[in-house]
Amino acid sequence: GAVVSQHPSWVICKSGTSVKIECRSLDFQATTMFWYRQFPKQSLMLMATSNEGSKATYEQGVEKDKFLINHASLTLSTLTVTSAHPEDSSFYICSAPFQGGRFRSDTQYFGPGTRLTVL
């Protein structure tokens, strides 16, 4: 089946630094990937849609300059949290759509998530 990986799985950084999170589709190509954040005991909230070869589309209320997204290739999207602050601490999850496998038609496959802790 389709596999989506994220790196790193856990990162701790000081306030004011920037953190880059990678999302890779390991055995399929994805022209579109999605970034979510999940606060403890809450549901996932869509942050942005990453588009290969063009600008990302951000959801309302998400700061474009703070959460930089680059979809460099058909298998890699990166999310950079710039000048991170403690309130940015969260669980960041990416997903990519894939057709095929057990569920055949277009299905979103999720990465395992990246836990960001900003001190």
Q: In the complex, which residues of this chain contact other proteins (CB under 8 A)?
A: 4, 32, 34, 42-46, 49, 93, 95, 97, 103, 105-113
Structural contact between residues 94 and 36, judged by C-beta atoms closer than 8 angstroms: yes
The CA distance from 69 to 21, in Å, is 10
CB of 16 to other proteins, least distance (A): 28
Is the CB of 5 or the CB of 82 nearer to other proteins? 5
Is the CB of 65 or the CB of 106 nearer to other proteins? 106
CA distance readout (Å), 35 to 25, 104, 119:
13, 23, 23
CB of 114 to other proteins, least distance (A): 11
